[in-house]
Amino acid sequence: MPKIKSENQTTLETTKPPMYKVILHNDDYTPMDFVVEILMKIFHKSEQEANEIMWTVHTKGKGVCGVYVKEIAQTKVHQVRINARSNGFPLLATMELER
């Protein structure tokens, strides 16, 4: 029997998915304590990290809560909206593509 050389090699290349920043925006109505609570509950930040992000939001108008793949970022934005509205606050979270 003749030997058949197979030269069919498949090269798989993977790429990292695009990442999105979740951003909280400052407003004049949402209490700072509630923002810290949201950061700890939804973004799993320590109390110290949550306070630092809250102060950034308060002083600079917005702050990054985390960087996630698109679906997780969308879920976190939705969770912030639901929690804020159910507590009567206008807290806004958005997402933007990380560059």
Give the global pTM: 0.85
Structure tokens that stand for 54 in this block: 């809250």
pLDDT single digits (tens) 23-67: 999 999 999 999 999 999 999 999 999 999 999 999 999 999 999
Percentage, residues of the chain above pLDDT 70: 90
What is the per-residue pLDDT for 11? 72
Amino acid found at 82? I
What is the per-residue pLDDT for 1? 61
Q: Which domains does the chain have, with CATH numbers?
A: 19-60+68-97 (3.30.1390.10)
DSSP 34-79: HHHHHHHHTS---HHHHHHHHHHHHHHSEEEEEEEEHHHHHHHHHH
